[in-house]
Amino acid sequence: MHILTADRLDELIGALRRVGRVVGPVLREGAISYGEVESAADLPRGWTDRQEPGAYRLEWDSRDLYFGFTLGAQSWKPFLFPPRLRLWSARRSEDGSFATRDEADDAPAQVFLGVRPCDLAAIAVQDRVFLHGPHQDPEYRRRREHAFLVAVTCGQAATTCFCTSMGHGPRAERGFDIALTELRDERGHRFLVEAGTRRGDEVLSELCMEEATAPDGQDAGRVAAATAAQITRRMPADIAGVLRRGHAHPHWGEVASRCLACTNCTLVCPTCFCMAVEDTTDLDGTAHRDRRWDSCFTAGHSYIHGGSVHASTASRYRQWMTHKLSGWFDQFGTSGCVGCGRCITWCPAAIDITAEAAAIAGTAGGATC
Amino acid sequence: MAAADPGFLAPRPARVLGWRRETAESVTIALEPAGEPWLPGQFNMLYAFGAGEVPISISGDPGRPDRLVHTVRSVGMVSAALCRLRRGQWVGVRGPFGSAWPLPAARGRDVLVIAGGVGLAPLRPVVYELCCHRGDYGRVTLLYGARTPGDLLFRPELERWRRRIEVLVTVDRAAPGWTGDVGVVGSLLPRAGLDPAGAVAMVCGPEVMMRFALADLRRLGLPESATWISMERNMHCAVGLCGHCQLGPAFVCRDGPVFGAGAIGWALGVREV
Amino acid sequence: MLTIADVVARCPLFDGLPTRHRELIAGCARFARFDAGTAIFLEGQPADRFHVIREGRVTLEVFSPERGRIVVQTLGPGDPLGWSWLFPPYRWHLDAFAREPVAAISFDGACLRGTCHEDHELGHLLMERFGGLMLQRLQATRLQLLDVYAHGSR
């Protein structure tokens, strides 16, 4: 582990830019979003966020940190699993036959600067979905192989965070190329820097850094512990089992009376992977196949000839939550939820997945009648 | 057209060898090249150029691997386009996908095949197999129900199969000249002489029909472990990545479409799942 | 050669009934045959008998002026035929034709009705059995009505 003083952050960013295009947190339209980072000046230094169910705003933070916020609406999902992608095009030849032509572009090398541990866990979850099944997604693989991950420990938790009850915490332990913990105290404004892979080691070897001392390591540990202590929300234990048995629970109808089926939660969720495959033709007769993000909250998601299987909002909410917290285990061996809390912040009806889980876990379905 | 890397979810072109109208709504088409080997119960995604892609069960004879046969019912834009295909025209094929009917497990046992409506199409490869290797199985019975006599599929084959296995056919509504049975397909069960200790049942049809058929079979003592059904859900990718075909935690394209009744029977009793 | 009593004893419809009731019922029964194409009973006729089919198929039909004879259901070996004998006005609601040569056990419904008025236990048991039969037929008919094989929208 090494120490990089904050005034030298540009050196690290410069080294990262030699690996690939650096994408990191930037201030945009009143929120923290991900965009290209060319220097430390592009980072939202001094800003922090306040998040509640259905509410998000930025505030000036006197700690004046580079990573003093928690997380924005966007996860890293769009960079590995693009919201829209053309898969192939085809033209018919004279005899009516056709051959498809792959339209995939070369995935550029990307550096994700500022990956929160929950988002790191989400990338690991999506790796299972797209890379570890009987069929793999070559588009995801291409982008994933060229992604370099720089994790940053959370120095503060939002009220909507609940990573600690999902098996993660504010400090990343694995899955990164480089991990940073931002420290600012009487010993100065600095980053604790560690490599998680050989690639990370190679990038860090370009910088001349002092070895971290034991107190530095302890400071980093304290930052993580303090953040964990701020977390108030939690997911009930064995929610997977509760939901597997909870099809008939009356609470689904209660949630449905509030849920707008607006699909925000599935858009901001870092692990949701539903995609629609669309076939179109141009006027010149060229056929295309595209894919785009889809959501189980739409009426068309479950359409089979005659009608949709999930006709009611209640059944769609039940599908989303049961899949996320229970079905995922059967499918991929892990929960689909990482506790990032985005679905709580960005729900216009302020629906809180942890509260709904508690409501269903707290009373066994049908126990009262 | 230069050969190119076909890419993700890309169909291969296949040419229509022949077609036969089965009913006012359904057509059987034969394609070549036949492509990868397939098992009864599996399906392909068939692509009508520019229109779209739909999952269609393979309905052909496993003993004739030179051609790929599907029976398509016209229920929407893409299936209507597939039903309009004629000899020499081209279609896109991806597959085969999905799980198969448990023919190996059925060897030496009585086999009861229960089909409703177009559900006979995914079961036809099974019936061909049972007829062709008749000696490998015990008592074999096909129970087939359709809406009206005009909706019966594979009428020439039904007659041929009668020479080797028992075939009982019924319709929900008779038409003038119909001399066969009238009533739901479950009403044929008493005549099938089911031995619950040794039989296996394979059921395919609308979900409502399968639900009631399973209840009838349970009432007659056939355990869920000896019963298989074929399910259907919205499919886009057919490879377990797009999320649409989920039935509880199961992906119908990958864990199905053929399921043991013990594994999926719970879903038939839950609404909107 | 099976006697009427043997055949009645094996009938699932009367399964589990006390011996004395089965003997009573057998006493009202006889073997019957119907040639192919003949009417077993016609709509509107007095319903004084009922049958249990042993061989052959029977069509239950409704006659309509425009469409002629419409088959709504077929019955076969083992199926009971007819329950209108149990309920006023004791008249048949449908036609029943022998589609092919039919062998059946035929029961004197009028006689059994009389017996049931005196022996309420028998009456109760027969009501139970025929009630169950009607439930099954109703459920099957509902399924036919659902038109499950048709392509339709919600």
Q: Which tens digit of pLDDT belongs to each residue from B184-195?
A: 999 999 889 889
What HEC string does C46-83 produce?
Answer: ECCEEEEEEECCEEEEEEECCCEEEEEEEECCCCEECC
Would you call A308 and C152 a contact, using CB atoms and an 8 Å cutoff?
Answer: no
CA atoms within 13 A on the CB side of A166: 28
B90 touching chain A per CB within 8 A: yes
Tell me, yes or no, whether A19 lies in a domain: yes
Residue after which a domain boundary falls, among A230, A249, A271: A230
Domains, chain B, in order of start with CATH, read 12-97 (2.40.30.10), 103-221 (3.40.50.80), 231-273 (no CATH)
Q: Find tokens 């359409």 and name the residue.
A: A303
pLDDT of res. C152 = 60
Distance from CA of A203 to the nearest CA of B (A): 33
Mutate to test the interface with C, among B181, B189, B208, B272 (most CBs of C within 10 A): B181
Does residue A368 belong to any structural domain of this protein? no
- Collect all residues with Cβ–Cβ distance below 8 Å to A269 and sequence separation of at least 6: A75, A77, A324, A342, A343
Domain count of the fold of chain A: 2
Domain range summary for chain C, segments of one domain joined by +: 4-143
Residue C16 contacts by C-beta under 8 Å, 6 or more apart in sequence?
none
Rg of the Cα atoms in chain B: 18
Are residues A201 and A250 both part of a single domain?
no
Percent with pLDDT over 70 in chain A: 98
Does A369 map to a domain? no
**Chain C residues inside the 8 Å CB shell of A305:** 151
Shared-domain flag, residues A90 and A186? yes
Contact B182 C73 (CB under 8 A): yes
Six token digits for residue A169: 């915490």
Listed in sequence order, the DSSP H helices in C81-153 are 109-118, 120-146
A-chain residue closest to C149, CA distance: A306
Judge whether B186 and B222 are in contact, CB under 8 Å.
Answer: no
Average pLDDT score, chain B:
95
pLDDT reading at A367 higher than 60: no
Domain boundary among A230, A248, A266: A230
What is the interface size between A and B, counted as CB pairs within 8 Å?
A: 144
Show which subunits contact A, needing at least 3 CB pairs below 8 angstroms. B, C
Average pLDDT rounded to a whole number, residues B173-192: 92
Distances (CA, A) of B55 to B12, B37, B78, B134, B154: 15, 17, 10, 30, 20
Interface touch A307/C154, C-beta < 8 Å: yes
> Alpha-carbon distance B52 to B91, whole Å?
11
Give the amino acid at B52: G
Are C59 and B182 in contact (CB < 8 Å)?
A: yes
Question: How far is the C-alpha of B4 from the C-alpha of B16, rounded, in Å?
Answer: 23
Nearest Cα of chain A lies from the Cα of B54 at a distance, in angstroms, of 11
**Domain span at A33:** 2-230
Pairing between β-strand A55-60 and β-strand A84-92 as defined by DSSP bridges: unpaired
Contact A298, B229 (CB under 8 A): no
Tell me the residues of chain A between 308 and 327 that have a Cβ less than 8 Å away from chain C.
308, 311
pLDDT over 80 at B2, yes or no: no
Contact A207, A15 (CB under 8 A): yes
pLDDT score of B4 more than 60: no
Q: What is the pTM of this model?
A: 0.91
CA atoms B216, B222, B225, B231: torsion sign: negative
**Residue A306 in contact with partner chain C when CB distance is under 8 A:** yes
Contacts of B76 in chain A (CB under 8 A): 305
> For the segment A258-291, what is each residue's pLDDT rounded down to a tens digit?
999 999 999 999 999 999 999 999 999 999 999 9
CB contact under 8 A, B206 and C140: no
In this prediction, residues A75-84 reach a mean pLDDT of: 97
Are residues A38 and A173 located together in one domain of the fold?
yes
Look at residue A316 and tell me whether its pLDDT is greater than 50.
yes
| Residue in B110, B111, B181, B107 with CA at minimum distance from that of residue B144 | B181
Q: What's the pLDDT score for residue A366?
A: 31
Residue A143 CA to residue A19 CA, distance in Å, equals 14
Is the pLDDT at A369 greater than 70? The verdict is no
Asked whether residue A59 is assigned to any structural domain, the reply reads yes
Mean pLDDT computed over B104-127: 97
8 Å CB contact of B172 and C149 = yes
ipTM greater than 0.85, yes or no?
Answer: yes
Chain A nearest CA to B186, separation (Å): 24
DSSP string, A259-327: -----HHHHH-SS---EEEEEEE-TTS-EEEEEEE--TTSGGGGEETTEES--SHHHHHHHHHHIIIII
Grade residue B5 by pLDDT with cuts at 50, 70 and 90. Answer: low
Query: Nearest 5°: phi and psi at C13?
Result: -60, -35
pLDDT number for residue B30? 98
Asked if B86 has any chain A CB less than 8 Å from its own CB, the reply is: no
Query: Is A141 in the same domain as A21?
Result: yes
One domain for residues A306 and A343: yes
* C154: contact with A, CB 8 A cutoff: yes
| Pairwise CB contact (< 8 Å): A319 & B92 | no
- Return d(Cα A103, Cα A110) in angstroms, integer: 20
* Gap between the terminal Cα atoms of chain B: 45
Among A201-205, B173-177, C90-94, top mean pLDDT goes to A201-205
CB contact under 8 A, C74 and B170: yes
Verify whether the Cβ–Cβ distance C76 to B181 is below 8 Å: yes
Q: Do C152 and A306 touch (CB under 8 A)?
A: yes
**Interface membership of C137 toward B (CB under 8 Å):** no
Quick one: pLDDT at residue A114?
Answer: 97
Is C151 within 8 Å of A308 when comparing Cβ atoms? no
Residues of A in contact with B272 (CB under 8 A): 309-312, 314-315, 318
The answer to whether A219 faces chain B, any CB pair under 8 Å, is: no
Q: Which residues of C touch B181 (CB under 8 A)?
A: 57, 74, 76
The per-residue pLDDT string of chain C (154 residues; one tens digit each, 9 = 90 and over) reads: 778 888 888 888 998 899 999 999 999 999 999 999 999 999 989 999 999 999 999 999 988 777 788 899 999 999 999 999 988 889 999 999 999 999 999 999 999 998 899 999 999 999 999 999 999 999 999 989 888 898 765 4
> Is the pLDDT reported for residue A323 higher than 60?
yes
CB contact under 8 A, A247 and B273: yes
Judge if A210 and A332 occupy the same domain. no
pLDDT digits (tens, 9 = 90+) for A121-156: 999 999 999 999 999 999 999 999 999 999 999 999
Same domain? A256 vs A152:
no
- φ/ψ of residue B222, rounded to 5: -80, 125
Say whether residue B243 is in contact with chain A using an 8 A CB cutoff: yes
Option in B151, B174, B191 nearest C149 (CB): B151
Q: Which tens digits make up the pLDDT trace of A220-265?
A: 999 999 999 999 999 999 999 999 999 999 999 999 999 999 999 9
Let me know whether A50 and A125 are in one domain. Answer: yes
Q: Give mean pLDDT, residues A329-334.
A: 97
User: Final residue of a domain: which of A178, A209, A230?
Assistant: A230
Q: Which residue has the higher pLDDT, B227 or B268?
A: B227
B85 falls in which pLDDT band (50, 70, 90)? very high
Residues A220 and A333 in one domain: no
Considering only CA atoms, which of B55, B36, B32 is closest in space to residue B45? Answer: B55
Among A98, A104, A302, whose Cβ lies nearest the Cβ of B234? A302
Write down the mean pLDDT value for chain A. Answer: 95
Rounded to a whole number of angstroms, the distance from the CA of A368 to the nearest CA of chain B is 20
Pairwise CB contact (< 8 Å): C153 & A307: yes
Q: What is the pLDDT of residue A106?
A: 78
**In this structure, are A41 and A107 located in the same domain?**
yes
Residue B261 has pLDDT above 60, yes or no: yes
DSSP state, A86? E
Q: What is the CATH number of domain C4-143?
A: 2.60.120.10
- Chain-centroid distance of CA A102 in Å reads 28
Kindly state whether residues A36 and A177 are assigned to the same domain.
yes
Query: Within this chain, do residues A179 and A280 fall inside the same structural domain, yes or no?
Result: no
**8 Å CB contact of B170 and C72:** no
